[in-house]
Amino acid sequence: MHSETLRCGLLGRTLGHSYSPAIHAQLAGYSYLLYEKEPEELEGFLRSGEFDGLNVTIPYKKTVIPYCAELSDTARAIGAVNTIVRRPDGTLWGGNTDAYGFSMLVQSSGAEVRGKKALVFGSGGASATAQYVLRQMGAREVVVISRHGTNSYENLDRHADTEIAVNTTPVGMYPNTGVSPVDLSRFPKLEAALDVVYNPARTKFLLEAERLGLKRANGLLMLVAQAKKSCEDFLGEPIADERIGAITKALTAQMQNVILIGMPGSGKSCVGAALAERLGMPLVETDAMVVEKTGRSIPDIFAQDGEAAFRREETAAARRAAAMEGTVISTGGGIILRPENMEILSATGTVYFLDRDPRDIANTELDGRPLLSGGRDRVFLLYDQRINLYRKYARYTVPSTTVDETVDSVLALVRRGQDVR
């Protein structure tokens, strides 16, 4: 059957925003729809004949098995189906491409599995896939950590020799970001950390892995790889593995935010506006978000309620901004004072510190900036107090000179980062 006439889609109960249609659009030219079905609708839909190929997501990966006349060896071994193909005689074939996706995720991280001990957090369907693949790849031992039982979060000390950690739980997934299923520093022999979550791109679990210098990867490449394998099943023909990296790179660039931090008066608003225009991305400013939500000016909030009240509103604004994708986020100068702000923001993009000479800031108009109301000396004091925090949280430090020069510098780094990914 020609790809243009295939009727494919994603079957689930509550699908919300899904990247699957965009991924399949880049893989082939067939129609790809989202099928949200309640449990009582499932049998009628599967027997209806209104599709040629399906991807299946929670909660139906096990439920669909009885409707499949034949299962692939992998689907049978894992006990879950995520791909269904309607055969010429009308019967359904069930396969599992999640295993292929996870194996490609492991490979992309550079982790060496053979002979290693792996700890898998979570006991659901994604956990079963990870366990299967890790054993197939020669792991010495695979231990599943769940909330109860012999191996739980209460007795992790017995697994201090863990070398690979895999998060298959939804912990850290948007909107409940900033949390991790485990403190990775508890495992001194740890070499790699893998997270099946991909929104945000850098969960707290992966941010900690980055700080520890571990090999790591999020679940986006797994999503793309399993889609590529499903597409091959739908079409009955191979697709080059190179497409996985290309599509993952494009999606990553689309999802990543560009986050600007720096002193008040460092040019974040002007640079942000110009950068957003050059990148074709929307711009949001956390200070403006606070003003819009409260209906009050920032000097008024400081004067009437104090700095602590403003900082609470600023954190709420950071959360709302981090929920966006492909956005330039210009922050207030004090955003770095709360570690949770930077954890929230850095999970969804790359942080750039616009480092402007404090002498230049001191020579600009300081009205409307409550914390600079002390004049020139206050600028230098604030710069000395904050400079180490700006450098700590930034992926890149960019000298803030003219708007055009600064935008060119940030743009070069943004594009370099996309090439690396």
Q: Which residue in the block uniquely carries the two structure tokens 């031992």?
A: 141
Contact 273, 285 (CB under 8 A): no
Which tokens in the block code for residue 314?
């600023």
Alpha carbon 412 to chain centroid, angstroms: 23
208, 275, 268: which is closest to 390 by C-alpha? 268
Q: Which residue in the block uniquely carries the two structure tokens 């570690």?
A: 339
Between CA 413 and CA 352 the distance in angstroms is: 9
DSSP conformational letter for 318? H
Name the phi and psi angles at 152, rounded to 5: -130, 180
Pairing of strands 83-86, 92-95: antiparallel
212, 176, 182, 211: which is closest to 195 by C-alpha? 182
Between CA 56 and CA 59 the distance in angstroms is: 9
Burial class (CB in 10 A: 0-12, 13-18, 19+), 365: exposed
Taking CB atoms within 8 Å and a gap of at least 24, the contacts of 372-378 are 372/264, 372/265
Question: The dihedral of CA 202, 204, 210, 211: what is its sign?
Answer: positive
Which entry of 61, 116, 229, 268 is annotated as an active-site residue? 61
Is residue 37 flagged as an active site residue?
no
* Catalytic positions, written as ranges: 61
